[in-house]
Structure 1
């Protein structure tokens, strides 16, 4: 492992150690893709109370690393894991990270989330300062890490160690910004010069993501379409002003899919593997899923529809619940996997009682069941109201489970909608229940034409959204802002 990485990623979660969503999948794959291209990479992430680290043992390498202002006596312990040859550093402080969940419970966000991630970002900078040489790039992801580019901006003025280091902040979901009271800015350690409408201030509040957008040398987001969308009031979430100000430094780089994990040819979670050349295994996966979830076997010859995602309005779960009675009249079955809004959780569970054997919901998230759903369903539902990139539709394409998705964000960048001759799925606009149902009805019509369906499924499975293309684009972006990524 390299103790002086050229690129230092900073993120609040990383698969396989911690995960609530797509950010973790990105962090588990993009650093490896860059490493394969010859770039030296490291990652910094929190040491949560529940880390999946058995495959990559952790060891304590530094005790009592100071974090400085505003807690001169508060320190962090640093653990290290060897992740396929990459160093992953874990910032440990039990009072902040030893909790059952990463960010929130069903009752809401943790009350001290701002302090937790101020601590994480400050500890990140202090630990990075102790590496043998400064990184060329510090790449922060989402609001939890977005103070790092702000700290770097001001540290470069007073500490020559950071003179050549550049920063990148990536927006995975602009709706989550880390917005807190002004008094917490006073505890952040940022100078008073950062408190203005071009910096950390946002309508009188302290906005962590805006801080990163304001001070990073480059701002990226996770698909080209989303990069254009967030410049508009409809998708800008109040930050379209600062984003337009930084438009020359904004890039949309499409995320990739980690086919080492998500590929039906070699998926360890599946009862039968399959490929475009040997598709029969997909039917066996469907049969197995029917048995596992106690679905009505008489519906096995009809389409099975799947939804895997957070049960929130962003993901359109309410649209699915609205049209479920109509879907049930079409002799299809539906499986839902996810957690989120308690009202939606209760509603989908109630509807299971109305449609036994035809609707199955599993509240929560398990990685193995997510894989088996991707393999077992015929149609994969993504009625999102916004989708910065989306990874699950990339997985569904590879698994031959044709997506029915809203025509926006990364969904538009990855799905070719029917009836295009090269179609790989079904897209609809605007994102509402009526157009969603119409798109599903169209998909069911195509499903009734086996030759057309098979050709479409084969095209979908042959699409390649691997990380190598994105990694090359990131290398170009790093180079464009002055990073020297030549071998040491």
Structure 2
């Protein structure tokens, strides 16, 4: 019996575009290691990293019935560290270069793709010898599953004891589509109302999951409070307030098996809070790798890793780069997204050779190298449900400068506290951002005090072990048999 079946559109190391993939690569395994019988189901994309795992077909011709009656899916399986991971296969939906979109925008058939995925999940789960105790869906791509389960309970006793949980990793992405597409979802018309799937005449898949799940979680306590108001509620603050009694914020953890400078396969030299010599070697290496001036070995080097878009405050960073370059510092940027911002960053790089390096794209090895080789990490997010890169930065001894929002508030102790692990500024404003960086640069000059902050940051613990215990308590509070 699968006590908890996770439903997700991505899972590291198989697929990843951001934090969701990292979370799904760590949380299910953490529960599994605590004795919870977990499994994960996710799409079989054409561009996947199988990481040496053998994939086998376990079921063919699974009748899904959408968008036309004969359509079927294949179910594949990998045994991942002793935990089953299932993959829903259907070439025309998932065998694409990207998961959700290209630079020109979202795939036109995303609604159809993920209705198909959610229906396939329910069809596959119905074939299991016993129903899961909990089906735990993540973000809009799997948010129809709680609604399907809600209505299935009325039709089949098989589902009567199965509980549903919907986790919001980023409320801004809701899966909002034309209202006419609701008719293809397979949900009854009784779900089409303002407290259900309907949202200003449109079909909103995330809202549907919020309305019909037994519990809703977000990925940090502060974000769970923020989304109840209009500033961060993205138009869903009303439905969230209506269901606030089942809303819970559980802080994400970091997978320290992957992100730990004491044992990191991507680093030329490992290090710890007790012995930081290796961090200086990592800095020398990253400067060479990004063609930065050797003179920066003795000056602060700032790093940014993230999606190049407004949410991450990239526009603010672009605006202050000329001011930063006056301060004899270095800056390394890694990410991809908005083509205009990418072009602006690349143009600025030409103006500051050896001082500013921009790498469009993302690779794990470069992300680890930047975390280890930089002195200060920048995270000027307009909103941040949890954030993982600042948690990684703490562990790598790279104090973050971040906006005081969401999970950034829950993970960073701001300067000038005696227990400071980083720097925060009140809101997404480029003047406040620049001022916070200047504060960090000033603190960096006091080498003894700075090294103590670095050590405090590295010794902070945000493991999945703690978060997994909170999820187990929540499942049991719902009455799940775990």
CA distance in 1, matches of 2:419, 2:54: 45
Q: Secondary structure at the match of 2:154?
A: coil
TM-score by length of 2: 0.99
Give, in whole Å, the separation in 2 of the partners of 1:192 and 1:430.
42
Q: Where in structure 1 are there 5+ consecutive unaligned residues?
A: none
Select which of 82, 90, 93 maps to 2:90: 93
Corresponding residue of 2:213: 216
1:205 aligns to 2:202 (yes or no): yes
Following the alignment from structure 1 to structure 2, what is the Cα–Cα distance between the partners of residues 159 and 362? 53
Q: CA–CA distance in 2 between the matches of 1:39 and 1:106?
A: 40
Note if contact 2:13-2:51 (Cα within 8 Å) is conserved in structure 1. no
Q: Is 2:452 the counterpart of 1:461?
A: no
**Misfit runs of 4+, over 4 Å:** none
1:253 aligns to 2:253 (yes or no): no
Pair 1:341-2:338 in alignment? yes
Deviations 1:281-333 (A, max 9, x none): 00000000011111011122100000000000100011111100000000000
Can you list the C-alpha shifts for 1:98-132, whole angstroms capped at 9, x where unaligned?
00000000000000000000000000000011111
Structure-1 residue corresponding to 2:153: 156
Do 1:70 and 1:189's aligned partners in 2 also have CA atoms closer than 8 Å? no
1:69 and 1:339, CA in 2 relative to 1: closer, same or farther beyond 3 A? closer
* Offset, 1:25: 0.3
Secondary structure of 2:56's counterpart equals strand
Match of 1:439 in 2: 436
Distance in structure 2 (CA, Å) of the matches to 1:217 and 1:59: 33
| 1:102-117 mapped onto 2 (5 Å cutoff) | 102-117=99-114
Q: 1 CA distance for matches of 2:295 and 2:456?
A: 29
Instruction: Deviation per CA, 1:254-277: give whole Å up to 9, x if none.
Output: 000000000000000001000001
Give 1:39-58 correspondences, 5 Å limit: 39-58=36-55
SS in 2 for 1:123: helix
Distance 1:63 1:100 in 2: 24
Q: Secondary structure at the match of 2:231?
A: coil
Alignment of 1:25-104 (within 5 A): 25-104=22-101
Query: Following the alignment from structure 2 to structure 1, what is the Cα–Cα distance between the partners of residues 125 and 75?
Result: 11
- Residue 10 (structure 1) aligns with: 7
Matched, 1:131 2:128: yes
3-state SS, counterpart of residue 415 of structure 2? coil
1:427 equivalent to 2:419? Answer no
Q: Distance in 2 between matches of 1:54 and 1:471?
A: 25
RMSD: 0.6
Paired position in structure 1 for 2:326:
329
Show CA shifts across 1:138-191 (max 9, x none).
Answer: 000000000000100000000111110000000000000000001110000000
2:233 is paired with a residue of what secondary structure? coil
Task: Give the match's secondary structure for 1:454.
Answer: helix
Cα shift at 1:279: 0.6
Q: Residue 307 of structure 1 aligns with which residue?
A: 304
Whether 1:23 and 2:20 are equivalent positions in the alignment is: yes
Structure 2: give runs of 5+ residues left out of the alignment: none
TM-score, normalization: structure 1? 0.98
Structure 2 matches for 1:286-305, cutoff 5 A?
Answer: 286-305=283-302
Alignment partner of 1:412 is 2:382: no
Preserved contact between residue 306 and residue 373 of structure 1 (Cα < 8 Å)? yes
String of CA shifts for 1:412-470, please: whole Å, max 9, x gaps: 00000000110000000121100000000000111000111010000000000000111
| 1:191-224 per-position Cα deviation (integer Å, ceiling 9, x unaligned) | 0000000100000000000000000000000000
> Helix, strand or coil: the match of 1:157?
helix
Structure 1 CA distance for aligned equivalents of residues 195 and 256 of structure 2: 40
Counterpart of 1:121 (choices 118, 122, 147) is: 118
Report which stretch shifted further, 195-204 or 295-304: 295-304
After TM superposition, give the deviation of residue 54 of structure 1 in Å. Answer: 3.6
Match of 2:388 among 384, 388, 391: 391
Secondary structure class of the residue paired with 1:427: strand
Partner Cα separation in structure 1 for residue 220 and residue 396 of structure 2: 21
SS at match of 2:79: strand
- The aligned length equals 482
| Secondary structure in 2 matching 1:289 | helix
Measure how far apart 1:69 and its partner are.
5.0
